[in-house]
Amino acid sequence: MRCRGGFTLVEILIVVVILGILAAIVVPQMSSASTQAVHAHLGRNLQQIDSQIEIYRANNSGALPTVDGTAPMGAGLTNNGWGILVSGEYLQSEPRNFYTTSTILAAGNEATAIAATGTDINGWYFEFVGNGIRVYAAGYDRTNDSLSNEVP
């Protein structure tokens, strides 16, 4: 009578194939989770920035936090362009765009922001629209909830 002391090659191969199939299912879901986190973070930051601009306007008789078209938030390039919103009680710090890793706010429009890539030196763009200021995240299309490196 022989005592069986281990696994056969076929049994080991079956286990390896099953683990490979499970890995093929799980890995794409994990990588999309980090992208979804960036989307959510940028969306929340944009909502917060928009609401803080409106709070500033409510506290200052409808005035925008700006002195002219080159100083978007009233204090030129201080605080990477965020000026009065960061130096006042509106934002605790310059918001970071986790796609470009930048906090810099620059003049631009929505098309400029959407076309930005992950290597852009700017994290945010602003433009004057009507009687307000609109802020966009570099590389993020708010309408389609997508980043510039993603295929629609």
Q: What percent of the chain has pLDDT over 70?
A: 86
For the chain, what is the mean pLDDT? Answer: 82
pLDDT beyond 60 at 11 = yes
pLDDT value for 151: 57
pLDDT value for 75: 52
CA max distance for the chain: 95
Q: pLDDT for 32-90, tens place per residue?
A: 777 788 888 888 999 998 898 889 889 888 887 775 555 556 555 556 778 778 876 78
Q: Where are the domains of the chain?
A: 11-147
Mean pLDDT of 122-143: 88
CA distance 146 to 4: 56
CA distance 32 to 34: 5
Considering the entire predicted model, what is its pTM? Answer: 0.71
Cβ proximity of 70 and 107 under 8 Å: yes
Nearest to 73 by CA among 116, 107, 98: 107
